[in-house]
Chain A
């Protein structure tokens, strides 16, 4: 019983220590770890469809029926050309 308690407590103890020290390391040495927020560039999303409680079978249809072939149509631009000012 003591062995089980020891194994479990080591998992919890060292796991928690890793989480705490990872956070401290990030704060200390990963300087400026943030990118521009969406609020800097947009006023928000306009939702055309919102569905709560989709069944598992409905997921595929929901995801793949919204975007049309027209949306994916290339604009005729040579994608491998260097971007130039318009």
Chain B
């Protein structure tokens, strides 16, 4: 396959805006299909070989890497076992390592990048600008790197069967009671994208959704030019587990939604089973921009959906400002509640009935519940922020060259 311009032998890269391959030297444009299937013969002898083949050792200390000879400068690139394309570290040529894309691993579809690098960074800046608790230095971040990476996905159809019991409260006050609702049925999910890379956490990749799969095109190596990509390395068990988790969540959500006459609904008991239609799974590469920046000596990663521009990240927060506001608002609200309760409590005590004792107990319980709920909300948000600051995301990027 050629990765050089037919006119001047310059480097070709895929331009998301033009949806064409552009020569960086002379600016010539080529349709991906036009150059994607040609083989220039230079790669005939450059099949990826494992280090064990090269050095004749079976040592477990050696990482399973592969050597690729750049078809532009002849330099050798060592890449990790799951990399499908990369840039030459010596000349920057977008050398597509198609010898790693064997028949088994060659994707069937690809959604080409639609958002350019500049647009991705701009989208992040717009989001950051609105953040109340985002430190000023983060708002004015300088990206250490902005890398377009094609994430491998398995797009699956599945049949999910489930029986769940939803519990909910019916009635109000003294007459409220818990009622149980049974729901059993089948849920068919079509074209569910499941991240096929172990390097990227499922939680992070799920947040990149939705991808518009109508844009899915037949895979062609030319789309990879100028970008990084990985290939699938998940097992059937991991894929099934990811599918089950998603299907369980959707089934629970729909079952709760089907109960109309109750409040405080939750899943009381459930038994569910997922069957993936393996005959129709599709292997596709979906685009994302990975932007890394440093703040307080720590690396942070922002992911931007390369098709829709959706920004996903947990941003470092201004703790000082947050806790200051928490104390100020808490004190203000407490003072307001104090003024009200100071009037009410003596009246309740004076009535000396059994109901007044209950009223006090309810107020104490209400106060404790509100406080613990508030604390748990803050914990949930902080954990969610940490999720997309996890090292797993950064590892996905940092192992790449360039």
Contact = CB atoms under 8 A, between A and B. Distances in A.
Interface of A: 1-2, 4-38, 40-56, 58-60, 62-67, 71-72, 75, 77-86
A34 to B, nearest CB: 7
B67 to A, nearest CB: 22
Contact of B315 (A20, A29, A71, A78): A29
A29 to B, nearest CB: 4
Given A1-B349, A29-B317, A34-B207, A83 B181 contact: no
B337 A41 contact: no
Interface in B343-402: 345-346, 349, 360, 363-364, 366-375, 377-378, 380-382, 384-385, 388
B209 to A, nearest CB: 3
B342 A5 contact: yes
A76 to B, nearest CB: 11
Nearest to B313: A31
Nearest to A60: B269
B326 A17 contact: yes
Contact of B333 (A14, A32, A60, A65): A14
Interface in B151-180: 154, 161-165, 179-180
Contact of B338 (A9, A35, A46, A55): A9
A34 B345 CA distance: 43
A28 B179 contact: no
Nearest to A2: B342
Contact of B185 (A15, A47, A52): A47
B37 interface: no
Contacts of A43: 188
B130 to A, nearest CB: 7
Interface of B: 104-108, 127, 130-134, 154, 161-165, 179-193, 196, 206-210, 232-237, 239-240, 250-251, 253-255, 258, 268-273, 275, 278-283, 302-303, 310-317, 322, 325-326, 329-338, 340-342, 345-346, 349, 360, 363-364, 366-375, 377-378, 380-382, 384-385, 388
A32 B359 CA distance: 42
A64 to B, nearest CB: 6
A8 B132 contact: no
Q: Which of A43, A46, A79 has the most CB of B within 10 A?
A: A79
B104 A85 contact: yes
B158 to A, nearest CB: 9
A31 B204 CA distance: 11
B106 A32 contact: no
A1 B330 CA distance: 21
A79 B236 contact: yes
Nearest to B342: A5
Contact of B209 (A35, A50, A66): A35
A80 to B, nearest CB: 5
Given A8-B337, A19-B373, A31-B315, A26 B384 contact: yes
Given A12-B367, A21-B378, A4 B345 contact: yes
B181 to A, nearest CB: 5
B153 to A, nearest CB: 11
Contacts of B330: 10, 13-14, 17-18
A23 B282 CA distance: 38
B42 to A, nearest CB: 27
Nearest to B253: A38
B345 A5 contact: yes
Contacts of B331: 13
B163 A62 contact: yes
B154 A31 contact: no
A12 B179 contact: no
Q: Which of B154, B281, B385 has the most CB of A within 10 A?
A: B385
A20 to B, nearest CB: 7
A65 B165 CA distance: 13
Contact of A42 (B189, B268, B317): B189
Given A13-B338, A32-B303, A37-B210, 7 more contacts: A5-B338, A8-B367, A10-B367, A15-B371, A21-B329, A25-B317, A47-B185
